[in-house]
Structure 1
Amino acid sequence: MDTYSHTGVANLNELPILALSFEFTTQVRRRAMADKLLYIEEVAEMLRKSPASLRYQIHKGENIPPSAKVFGRRMFRESDVVKWLDEQFEKETA
């Protein structure tokens, strides 16, 4: 049997699975990179709260959209904020 040295695969039948896995991983990375990052002021406006109020909720560990500090600034992924809002409405209607 030949070994496909550039892929590290000994059987050519394994290549479609590897290609699919690579394509899926690439799509996930692109989606994550394309997700818009929002500042705390923008999220506060979306939630109709003051930035100070949102900062206080973060400090207290209250239920808020997931966020992270990026280069010293609190950032939110737009998709996380939308998902969090959807979850809040689902909780209220359940």
Structure 2
Amino acid sequence: MDVSTIAAALMIEEERLRIEFAHELAHGSAIVQADNLAALSAAAAEGNAAAAKALLAIATRVAGPPPGAPAIPTGGGVTERALRILQGGKS
């Protein structure tokens, strides 16, 4: 959302928005992403397989697999194995 739209929604002038919410305007997306990752991590730690699978996908996409790592298996049981690994168990 652009600054003018946000200012209109809050019914304040753009200049005041830029002054009062400079940090949020500059880093808002990163703040929300960090909150979402923390929530996914907490859900995965509580045994939510979908959250564990999402975290694994994000980590792989961001960092990529380590050099020499075997291919990520697909098919049945992958989510369950990923959850056990994330919880400190063996695959």
Larger Rg: 1
Between structures 1 and 2, the one with greater strand share: 1
Which category describes the TM-score, using the shorter chain as reference length? under 0.3
| TM-score of the two chains, using structure 1 as the length reference | 0.27
| TM-score of the two chains, using structure 2 as the length reference | 0.28
Between structures 1 and 2, the one with greater helix share: 2
